[in-house]
Amino acid sequence: MTTLLTLAVLVLVAIAIWQLTKIFELSQLKTAQTQIATDSDNKNNGYMLFGFLIFIYGITIFSFWKYSKFLLPEAASAHGEEYDYLMLVSFIIIFIVQTITQALLHYFGYKYRGREGQKALFYADNDRLEFIWTIIPVIVLAGLILWGLYTWTSIMDVNDEDDPLIVELYAQQFNWTARYGGADNVLGGANVRMIDIDKANVLGLDESDTYAHDDVIVKELHLPVGRKVNFKMRSQDVLHSAYMPHFRAQMNCVPGMITEFSFTPIYTTEEMRVNPEVMSKVKRTNKIRAEKSAGGEETLDPWQFDYVLLCNKICGKSHYNMQMKIIVETEEEYNVWMESQSTFAETVMKDDTNPAFNVVETASVD
């Protein structure tokens, strides 16, 4: 509401200034009227160019100061550091080039402003200049693109080296389900055509496939720290995207095919909770929550940091709430947790009248 009022006031002020300018122009009718800009008009426009330059520099500095805190904290995956470094270098290059070129653009706009009696010089081309301003961007861009391709290829190299943990991420409107390969670390066959809601076989696992019997289906993703995880994504209905921002990981989930992504978590949830950037974000969020609760709005519980899997494709009306908690823990903690889980054979296949899988919490709203 406040934003709307502020906008309305700004629009009204702009209209008032415009009208005042009109009145001022009409009252000056007796002076010489011409549509051709005078030297003084050009000079004033030149000064306004400098004013605009200061404005864009100011807003850039302001944004860095005010909004840097909204960037993601330190990467929690092995490949994340290289990815962030590539991003940082790209940002620095863009920042330097934009700062210099904007200054030059505005300065020359002022320097060569129109003047009475001055004629523009006809200057067709200059091979050397064109060579310089073509070859420098080519070298810089080729360098960035090659580096990016190299980084992309090394991140996307999903292989079975180093005994990775195999996990399936199953997307559907509007929740996630994860499936582990069980003791043999091999996922059983599955197909959406085998989904049987009556038996709660919601992922469509093939009961005749023995690899599927020990599969563990969960609603909260647990990962052991330091172990490579190979994710295999499936979607039941529409295009979703498995986005794990803290691990700098994202992959589309496409109906009818299996997509893959692989990463190694390097910090446990507990370790990430004491990361200074995370701590300051939690503090800020809880301050806002406390203020809202005190202000008579709904009471909000203090927030605690958790890794999260989000959907990053607008897949329907509850897309915003399509998420799953991820817990990264030590190998021992992970093993204890896994021990406590039931397999597909123990739940869905055992008793047709008792459909159940390890539901921890239901993320979907409707």
Q: Which residues bind Cu ion (CB under 5 A)?
A: 240, 311, 315, 322
By beta-carbon proximity to Cu ion, the closer residue of 106 and 240 is 240
By beta-carbon proximity to Cu ion, the closer residue of 259 and 275 is 259
The gap from C-alpha 89 to its chain's centroid, in whole angstroms, comes to 18
Contact (Cβ atoms closer than 8 angstroms) between residue 221 and residue 327: yes
By beta-carbon proximity to Cu ion, the closer residue of 176 and 344 is 176
Cα(66)–Cα(74) distance, integer angstroms: 19
Cα(225)–Cα(275) distance, integer angstroms: 16
Which residues are CB-contacts of 238 (< 8 A; sequence separation ≥ 6)? 173, 255, 313, 315, 316
Cis peptide preceding 95, ω within 30 of 0: no
Q: Using the structure block, give the residue that is written with the tokens 């009556």.
A: 198
Cα(195)–Cα(113) distance, integer angstroms: 72
By beta-carbon proximity to Cu ion, the closer residue of 103 and 314 is 314
15, burial (CB in 10 Å: exposed 0-12, middle 13-18, buried 19+)? exposed
3-class secondary-structure state, position 260: strand
By beta-carbon proximity to Cu ion, the closer residue of 240 and 248 is 240
CB 212 to Cu ion: min, Å: 25
By beta-carbon proximity to Cu ion, the closer residue of 68 and 362 is 362
By beta-carbon proximity to Cu ion, the closer residue of 42 and 321 is 321
By beta-carbon proximity to Cu ion, the closer residue of 57 and 320 is 320
By beta-carbon proximity to Cu ion, the closer residue of 315 and 326 is 315
Q: Which one, of 168, 180, 309, lies nearest residue 232 by Cα?
A: 168
- DSSP lists the bridge partners of residue 244 as 249
- DSSP lists the bridge partners of residue 178 as 169, 218
Cα(272)–Cα(266) distance, integer angstroms: 10
CB 240 to Cu ion: min, Å: 4
- CA–CA–CA angle 147, 74, 229 (5° rounding): 75
By beta-carbon proximity to Cu ion, the closer residue of 318 and 341 is 318
CB 208 to Cu ion: min, Å: 30
At 323, which helix (H) or strand (E)?
strand 323-329
CB 92 to Cu ion: min, Å: 34
CB 238 to Cu ion: min, Å: 7
11, burial (CB in 10 Å: exposed 0-12, middle 13-18, buried 19+)? exposed
Q: How many CB atoms lie within 10 A of CB 294?
A: 9
CB 322 to Cu ion: min, Å: 5
CB 127 to Cu ion: min, Å: 53
Q: Tell me the chain's radius of gyration from C-alpha atoms.
A: 30
CB 315 to Cu ion: min, Å: 3
CB 258 to Cu ion: min, Å: 17
77-87 in b/e form (b: 16+ CB < 10 A) is bbbbebbeebe
Contact (Cβ atoms closer than 8 angstroms) between residue 190 and residue 212: yes
CB 313 to Cu ion: min, Å: 6
